[in-house]
Amino acid sequence: MTAFSDLQTAAVLFSLMIAPLAAAGLALINAGLGRSRNAAHAMMTSLTAIAVASCAYFVLGHSFYGAAGEPARVAMIRRQTWDWLGAMPPFFIGLPAAGSPAFLTALMGTESVALAALIPLGSGAERWRLSSICASTAVLAGITFPVFAHWSWAGGWLAKLGFVDTGGAASIHAVGGLTGLAVVWLLGPRRGKYSSDGMPMAMPGHSVVFVLFGCMLALAGWIGLNAAGAILFAGVPLGQLALVGVNTLLGAASAALVAAVVTKVRFGRPDASLTANGWVGGLVAVSAGCAFLPPAAAVLTGLLAGGLVTFSVELLELRLEVDDPAGSISAHAVAAIWGLIATGILGRFPAGNDVMLAQVVGVATLLGFVLPVAWGLNALLDRFLPMRVSREGERQGMDLFELGAGAYPDFVTHTDDFMPR
Amino acid sequence: MKTAGLLLLLSGWLLVLAALAMLNGGVARNAFVAAGVLVELLGLVLTARAHLSAHLNIRSERG
């Protein structure tokens, strides 16, 4: 990869400086959609997951991830080269810092893996132990994410096939969402979620304000992440970055509106948590082709993502007994898969590129490689470090049981202020 | 049953990879890729059903 100009470097750096807002947004969404007795635990696990993911990626992940044009493990099959795995030294050794796309890619990789690590936390919320979360995050950041991200972002075999994943719909969100599905399959539902005849009980989140504010923060972060991805992985000129921002906003807006309308029509009132899931689903879906979609196509992608996420949340909870408190599987994995296919259908690419085939192969790789590997690795970890908290821990709430203090210690005593003395 | 479903997912992906490696474009390659994706969908359905039936068993044990 050729060196970047100072202006390109500054643009990527600025984008990556606002990208962590996406992680802050997701952490707030996860905390807000859980019950108050697990709120501190949700924020603590988010912070810990970011820390563990960054360190695991620094130690091992980046050497597997590599970068386009850097050393990689290659296989020859029928005279075709298949780039399977990065072969960079660990600990970021040998990365030139000044104006180097490789170093910027390493920063993007670190932020991306931190964001991906937050997604399964929403799925396993309220019953997943902190120590097990750390181990699972290390595996995600050290193995699952870097391997797939090398294939799609760092000049791997999928990228050579023409796979388009500009903002990380596949590498970040589908990988995170499918890991979340594997985690839910291993953990099982929260106690009391399903009655003896299989009917799900409502367990509403404790703060819709957190959730909706998280959505707004996530938008800023997403624009940064998509812009950085567009420069680093799609070679988009700086003048075209406005399109990336417009598409990101339009995708989220249209998806949220559809989710609000669908819930209003079906339940009589717009549902705030499903609207938030729709917003995130729109952001995720449009990430795949944000640099290649005309704005009208981004709106269409968002519209369908919003509808899809709403129905997917219901299908998973009602029919498949997948207890996903934050709706992460629908908002990240399902929306990402739709976004990848939509990019193949609606994206504008130079003639002769069989992008649709590459997108289908990418989705097949997510389902056929990432999901079984995530399940297998987490099942293995579960044998040595049990994932699920005890019955007593779940009853007390994760805040008291694992952290020793609740998120809102004033909740009960505060009511005394209103009592007549 | 869950393991069988996950193995089907993996098999479908290997079918897709084999199609890309062995066939040089055209209808045959696309057909094999589609077949691989269908096998994956079967695996996904099987895994989801395994999860569901495991929960039915747990509920019936609890009475």
DSSP output for B34-45: HHHHHHHHHHHH
Are the Cβ atoms of B37 and A372 closer than 8 angstroms?
Answer: no
A12 pLDDT above the threshold of 80: yes
Closest CA to A186 of A147, A132, A145: A132
Instruction: Compare CB distances from B33 to A189, A360, A376 and report the shortest one's residue.
Output: A360
CB B8, CB B39: distance < 8 Å: yes
CA of A133 vs chain B CAs: smallest distance (Å): 21
Q: Give me the pLDDT at residue A351, please.
A: 72
Q: Is A376 left (phi over 0), alpha (psi -120 to 50) or beta?
A: alpha
Of A77, A82, A361, the CB nearest to B33: A361
Apex CA A117: angle with CA A321 and CA A381, to 5°? Answer: 70
Share of chain A above pLDDT 90, in %: 84
- Please check whether residue B44 touches A, CB under 8 A: yes
List the domain boundaries for chain A: 11-418
Rounded to whole angstroms, the Cα distance separating A232 from A214 reads 26
| Contact yes or no for B37 and A364 at CB 8 A | yes
The CATH number of the structural domain formed by A11-418 is 1.10.3430.10
Q: Which residues of A touch B43 (CB under 8 A)?
A: 367-368
In this predicted model, what pLDDT tens digit does every residue of A289-299 receive, in sequence order? 999 999 999 99
Taking the complete model, does pTM exceed 0.90, yes or no? Answer: yes
Q: Are the Cβ atoms of B16 and A365 closer than 8 angstroms? A: yes
Percent of chain A with pLDDT over 70: 96
Torsions phi, psi for A157 (to 5 deg): -60, -35
Residue of A nearest to B57 (CA): A196
Both tokens of A138, joined, read 């290390």
The distance of A169 to chain B (nearest Cα, Å) reads: 19
Which helix (H) or strand (E) segment is A77 a member of? strand A72-77
- Classified as helix, coil or strand, A196 is coil
- B63 pLDDT above the threshold of 70: no
Which residues in chain A are closer than 8 Å to B22, comparing Cβ atoms?
Answer: 78
- Distance between CA atoms of A128 and A121, rounded to whole angstroms? 8
Are A364 and B21 inside 8 Å of each other by CB?
no
CB-based contact (8 Å) between A188 and chain B? yes
Instruction: Average the pLDDT over A6-34 and give the result.
Output: 96
Mean pLDDT for the stretch of residues A305-332 = 96
Residue in B closest to A77 by C-alpha: B21
Distance between CA atoms of A217 and A23, rounded to whole angstroms?
A: 9
pLDDT at A414 over 50: no
Whole-angstrom distance between the N-terminal and C-terminal Cα of chain A?
A: 73
More confident residue, B57 or A133: A133
User: Taking CB atoms and an 8 Å limit, are B21 and A196 in contact across chains?
Assistant: no
CB B37 to CB A363 under 8 A? yes
Query: Which of chain B's residues have a Cβ under 8 Å away from the Cβ of A321?
Result: 51-52, 55
Which residue shows structure tokens 């567009």?
A230
Q: Looking at CA atoms only, how far is residue A379 from chain B in angstroms?
A: 11
Q: What is the pLDDT of residue A323?
A: 95
**Tens-place pLDDT, residues A333-381:** 999 999 999 999 999 988 767 899 999 999 999 999 999 999 999 999 9
Which amino acid, A145?
A: F
What's residue A1's pLDDT? Answer: 64
Q: At what angle do helices A371-384 and A175-187 cross, to 10 degrees?
A: 40
Q: Which two tokens stand for residue B30?
A: 């696309």
Nearest to B33 among A78, A196, A357 (CB): A357
Q: How far is B47 from chain A (nearest CA, A)?
A: 9
Q: Which residues of B touch A368 (CB under 8 A)?
A: 9-14, 16, 36, 40, 43
The alpha-carbon radius of gyration of chain A (Å, integer) is 21
| pLDDT value at A104 more than 70 | yes
State the burial class of residue A50 (Cβ atoms within 10 Å of its Cβ: 0-12, 13-18, 19+). buried
Backbone φ and ψ for A392, nearest 5 degrees, come out as -65, -40
Q: Does A192 touch chain B (CB under 8 A)?
A: no
Is residue A413 scored above 50 in pLDDT? no
Which residues in chain A have Cβ-Cβ distances shorter than 8 Å to B35?
none
Q: Is the pLDDT of residue A421 over 80?
A: no
Rounded average pLDDT over B33-56: 93
Residue A270 has pLDDT above 70, yes or no: yes
Q: Render pLDDT for A29-49 as a digit per residue (tens, 0 to 9).
A: 999 999 999 999 999 999 999
CB atoms within 10 A of CB A59: 15
Residue closest to A404 by CA, chosen among A395, A396, A412, A392: A396
Residue of A nearest to B60 (CA): A196
CA dihedral (A282, A287, A289, A295) positive or negative: positive
Evaluate if residue B57 carries a pLDDT over 90. no
CA distance A27 to A118: 7
Q: What's the CA gap between B40 and B59, in Å, rounded? A: 29
| Confidence label for A4 from pLDDT (cuts 50, 70 and 90) | confident
pLDDT tens readout for residues A41-88: 999 999 999 999 999 999 999 999 988 888 889 988 888 889 999 999
Q: Which of A253, A44, A272, A68 is nearest to A158 (CA)?
A: A68
Q: Give the pLDDT band (50/70/90) at residue A420.
A: low
CB-CB: which of B52, B58, B59 is closest to A320? Answer: B52
Closest CA to A133 of A42, A215, A208: A42
* Residue A415 pLDDT class (50, 70, 90 cuts): very low
Residue of B nearest to A183 (CA): B51
Asked if residue A123 lies in contact with residue A181, where contact means CB atoms within 8 angstroms, the answer is: yes
SS3 (DSSP) at A86 = strand
The answer to whether the beta carbons of residues A162 and A224 sit under 8 Å apart is no
Question: Would you state the pLDDT for residue A196?
Answer: 82
**Do residues A120 and A176 lie in contact, with contact meaning Cβ atoms separated by under 8 Å?**
yes
pLDDT for the residue numbered A24: 98
Q: Please tell me the distance from the alpha carbon of residue B5 to that of residue A404, in angstroms, as a whole number.
A: 40
The tens digit of pLDDT for each residue in A197-207 reads 888 998 999 99
Contact A368 B16 (CB under 8 A): yes
- Domain borders along chain B are 2-57
- Among A67, A18, A19, A331, CA closest to A176: A331
Give the Cα separation of A286 and A296 in Å (integer).
Answer: 12
Mean pLDDT, chain A, as a whole number? Answer: 93
Chain B closest CA to A319's CA: distance in Å? 9
Structure tokens at A8: 């390109």
Taking CA–CA distances from B24, the nearest residue in chain A reads: A78
Rounded distance between C-alpha atoms, residue B63 and residue B56, angstroms: 11
User: CB pairs below 8 Å between A and B: how many?
Assistant: 72
**Residue A60: both structure tokens together:** 């091992």
Least confident of A99-103, A147-151, A183-187, A218-222: A99-103
